[in-house]
Structure 1
Amino acid sequence: MKRVILQKSNFLKQGVRAAGSKPIPDRSDSFVFGLFNGEINPKNIFPYPSVFNQEQVDELNELFSASFDAFDGTNEALENDLRGDLDPEMVQMLRDFGLFGMQVPEELGGLGMSNVQMARMSEIGGELDLGVSIYIGAHQSIGFKAILILGTQEMKEKYLPLVASGEKIAAFCLTEPSTGSDASSVQTRAVKQEDGSYLMNGGKIWITGGGIADIFTVFAQVPVQQEDGTIKDKMTAFIVERDFGGVTHGAPEKKMGIKCSNTAEVYFDDVRIPAENMIGEVGEGFKVAMEVLNSGRYGMGATLNGTQKGLIKKATEFAANRTQFRDKIYKFGAIQEKLARMHAEQYASEAVSYLVANAMDHKTENYHLEAACGKIFASERAWHCCDETIQVMGGMGYMFEQGVEKVMRDLRIFRIFEGTNDILRLMVGLQGLQYTGQQLAPIAKAAKSPIANAPTLIKFKMDQRAKEKGSKTAVNDLKQYVDPALHPEAQKVGEAITRFEVASKKILQKFNKDIINQQFHVKRIAEAAIELFASSAVLSRATAAQKHPTANKEEEILLAKTYIFDSLKKIHGALDQLTEQDESHWKNMAELTEKMVNADSPVLGAHPTELIHK
Structure 2
Amino acid sequence: MFRSVARISSALKQNKLQNHLFQKWSECAVVTQTRNVSEESKSFGLNLFRGQAHGEQVFPFPEVLNEEQRDNLQMFADQTAKFFEEQNDALKNDLLETVEPETMEGLKALGAFGLQVPVELDGLGLTNTQYARLVEIVGAHDLGVGIVLGAHQSIGFKGILLFGNDEQKQKYLPKLAAGENIAAFCLTEPASGSDAGSIKTRAVLSDDGKHYILNGSKIWISNGGLAEIFTVFAQTPVTDKNGDTKDKVTAFIVERSYGGVTNGAPEKKMGIKCSNTAEVYFEDVKIPVENVLGGEGGGFKVAMNILNNGRFGMVAALAGTMRYCVHKAVDHAGSRVQFGKSIHTFGTIQEKIAQMAIRHYVAESMAYMISANMDQGFKDFQIEAAIGKIYASEGAWYCADEAIQILGGMGFMRDCGIERVMRDLRIFRIFEGTNDILRLFVALTGIQYAGKHLKDVQKALKNPIGNIGTVVGFAGKMAKRKLGASTGVDLHNDSNVNPELQDAAKKASKAIEHFGGTIDQLLIKYGKNIMHEQMVLNRVAEAAIDIYGMVCVLSRASRSLSTNVASASTESAMCQTFCEEASVRVETNLNIAVSDRNMKTFRTLSTISDEVIKHGGCVQEHPLGF
**TM-score (norm: length of structure 2):** 0.91
- The CA distance in 2 between the partners of 1:23 and 1:233, in whole Å, is 21
Which of 502, 521, 525 is equivalent to 2:540? 525
Amino acid aligned to 2:52: E
Offset at 1:51? 1.5
Using the TM superposition, give the Cα deviation of residue 417 of structure 1 relative to its aligned residue in structure 2, in angstroms. 1.3
**Does the residue aligned with 1:577 lie in a helix, a strand or coil?**
helix
After superposition, where does 1:21-60 map in structure 2 within 5 Å? 25-60=38-73
Corresponding residue SS for 1:254:
coil
Count of matched residue positions in the alignment of Structure 1 and Structure 2: 596
Q: Is the 8 A contact 2:477 2:487 kept in 1?
A: no
Shift of 1:228: 7.8
Unaligned runs of 5+ in 2: 1-26
Q: What is the CA–CA distance in structure 1 between the aligned matches of 2:533 and 2:32, rounded to whole Å? A: 21
**1:552 partnered with 2:567:** yes
Report the counterpart of residue 300 of structure 1 in structure 2: 314
Structure 2: distance between partners of 1:229 and 1:455: 45
Report what 1:12 is aligned to.
Answer: none
Distance 1:20 1:54 in 2: 43
**Does residue 149 of the first structure (1) align with residue 149 of the second (2)?**
no
| Residue 451 (structure 2) aligns with | 437
Aligned-pair distance for 1:442? 4.3
Instruction: Using the TM superposition, name which of 52-61 and 120-129 deviates more.
Output: 52-61
- Equivalent residues of 2:88, 2:103 under 8 A apart: yes
Q: Does the C-alpha gap of structure 1 residues 57 and 194 become closer, same or farther in structure 2, counting only changes over 3 Å?
A: same
Q: Is the 8 A contact 1:28 1:41 kept in 2?
A: no
Q: After superposition, give the CA deviation of every residue in 1:116-148 in whole Å (9 maximum; x if it has no partner).
A: 000000011101010001111110000000001
The alpha-carbon deviation at position 463 of structure 1 amounts to 2.8
Identity of aligned residues (%): 46
> For 2:112 and 2:536, how far apart are their aligned partners in 1?
42
- Partner of 2:131 in structure 1? 118
Distance 1:172 1:20, change over 3 A: closer
Distance change in 2, residues 1:450/1:586 (3 Å)? farther
C-alpha distance after superposition, 1:12-59 (max 9, x if no partner)? xxx953489999943431001111111121121101111223443233
- Kindly indicate whether residue 79 of structure 2 is the aligned counterpart of residue 66 of structure 1: yes
Q: CA contact under 8 A between 1:319 and 1:330: conserved in structure 2?
A: yes
Q: What code does the residue aligned with 2:333 have?
A: A
What is the aligned counterpart of 1:596 among 612, 618, 621? Answer: 612
- Does structure 2 retain, via aligned residues, the 8 Å contact 1:84–1:259? yes
Structure 2 CA distance for partners of 1:334 and 1:473, relative to 1, 3 Å:
farther
CA distance in 1, matches of 2:526, 2:331: 51
Q: 1:509 aligns with which of 524, 528, 532?
A: 524
The equivalences for 1:10-29 within 5 A come to: 17-18=29-30, 25-29=38-42
Residue deviations 1:60-99 (CA, integer Å, cap 9, x gap) = 1232122101121111111111110011111111011100
What are the residue-to-residue correspondences of 1:570-609 with 2, within 5 Å?
Answer: 570-578=585-593, 579-599=595-615, 601-609=616-624
SS of residue matched to 1:116: helix
Whichever residue aligns with residue 604 of structure 2, its letter is N
CA distance in 1 between counterparts of 2:469 and 2:386 reads 39
- Structure 1 length as normaliser, TM-score? 0.93
Deviations 1:232-284 (A, max 9, x none): 21210000000000100000000110000000000001100111111121110
Matched, 1:408 2:400: no
Q: Counterpart of 1:561 in structure 2: which amino acid?
A: Q
Question: For residue 121 of structure 2, what is the aligned residue in structure 1?
Answer: 108
Structure 1 residues 428-577: aligned runs within 5 Å: 428-444=442-458, 460=474, 463-480=477-494, 481-548=496-563, 550-577=565-592
Q: Deviations over 1:432-488 (max 9, x none)?
A: 111121222245567899999999889745533423544214542453130000011
Aligned partners of 1:20 and 1:241: how far apart in 2?
34
SS at 2:246 equivalent: strand
Measured after TM superposition, the shift of residue 508 of structure 1 is 1.1
Deviation at 1:594, TM superposition (A): 1.4
Q: Does 2:431 align with 1:417? A: yes
- Work out whether 1:138 is the aligned partner of 2:154: no
Aligned partner of 2:515: which letter?
F
Which consecutive unaligned segments of at least 5 residues does structure 1 have?
1-14
The one-letter code matched in structure 2 to 1:221 is Q
- One-letter code aligned to 2:617: P
Counterparts of 1:458 and 1:40 in 2: how far apart (Å)? 20
**Partner amino acid, structure 1, of 2:477:** D
- Judging changes above 3 Å, is the alpha-carbon distance between structure 1 residues 105 and 443 closer, same or farther for their aligned structure 2 residues? closer
Q: Report matched runs for 1:315-394 at 5 Å.
A: 315-394=329-408
Q: Which amino acid aligns with 1:331?
A: T
- Establish whether residue 267 from structure 1 lines up as the match of residue 281 from structure 2: yes
> 2-side partners of 1:467 and 1:555: how far apart?
36
Render the CA deviation track for 1:508-567: whole Å, top value 9, x for unaligned: 111011111111111111110111011100000011112336452212211211222222
Local SS of the residue matching 2:251? strand
CA distance in 1 between counterparts of 2:544 and 2:420 reads 32
- 1:606 is displaced (CA, Å) by 2.2
Distance 1:585 1:454 in 2: 43
CA–CA distance in structure 2, aligned partners of residues 165 and 451 of structure 1: 63
Does the Cα contact within 8 Å between 1:38 and 1:474 map onto a contact in 2?
no
Q: Does structure 2 retain, via aligned residues, the 8 Å contact 1:16–1:431?
A: no
Q: What is the alpha-carbon distance in structure 1 between the residues aligned to residue 449 and residue 242 of structure 2?
A: 35
Report the CA distance shift for 1:222/1:55 in structure 2 as closer, same or farther (over 3 A).
Answer: closer
Kept after mapping to 1: 8 A contact 2:220/2:277 = yes
Query: Does the CA-based 8 Å contact 1:379-1:415 persist in structure 2?
Result: yes
1:160 and 1:478, CA in 2 relative to 1: closer, same or farther beyond 3 A?
farther
The whole-number CA distance in structure 1 between the counterparts of 2:82 and 2:425 is: 23
2:12 maps to which residue?
A: none
* CA shift for structure 1 position 197: 0.8
Is the contact made by 1:16 and 1:430 (CA closer than 8 Å) also made in structure 2? no
**RMSD in angstroms over aligned alpha carbons?**
2.5
Opposite residue 538 of structure 2, the aligned amino acid is K
Determine if contact 2:28/2:527 at 8 Å carries over to the other structure: no
1:81-230 equivalences in 2 (<5 Å): 81-195=94-208, 196-225=210-239
**1:586, 1:435 → 2: CA distance?**
26
DSSP-derived class of the 1:364 partner: coil
Residues 583-613 of structure 1 deviation map (CA, whole Å, 9 limit, x = unaligned): 00000011111122223x32112221139xx
For each residue in 1:203-251, what CA deviation from the matched residue of structure 2 results, as whole angstroms up to 9, or x when unmatched?
0000000001000000011123567876421210000000000100000
**Structure 1 range deviating more: 69-78 or 258-267:** 69-78
The residue number in structure 1 matching 2:11 is none
- Paired AA for residue 581 in structure 2: D
Change (3 A) 1:446 1:104: closer
CA distance in 2, matches of 1:334, 1:521: 34
Q: Is the 8 A contact 1:19 1:438 kept in 2?
A: no
Determine if contact 1:468/1:499 at 8 Å carries over to the other structure: no
Q: 2:115–2:124: 8 Å Cα contact kept in structure 1?
A: yes
**DSSP-derived class of the 1:258 partner:** coil
Q: Taking structure 1 as reference, are residues 453 and 536 closer, same or farther at Cα in structure 2, changes over 3 Å only? A: closer
| SS of equivalent to 1:609 | coil
Instruction: Give the aligned residue type for 1:587.
Output: R
Distance in 2 (alpha carbons) for counterparts of 1:187 and 1:42:
43
Contact 1:473 1:494 in 2 (8 A): no
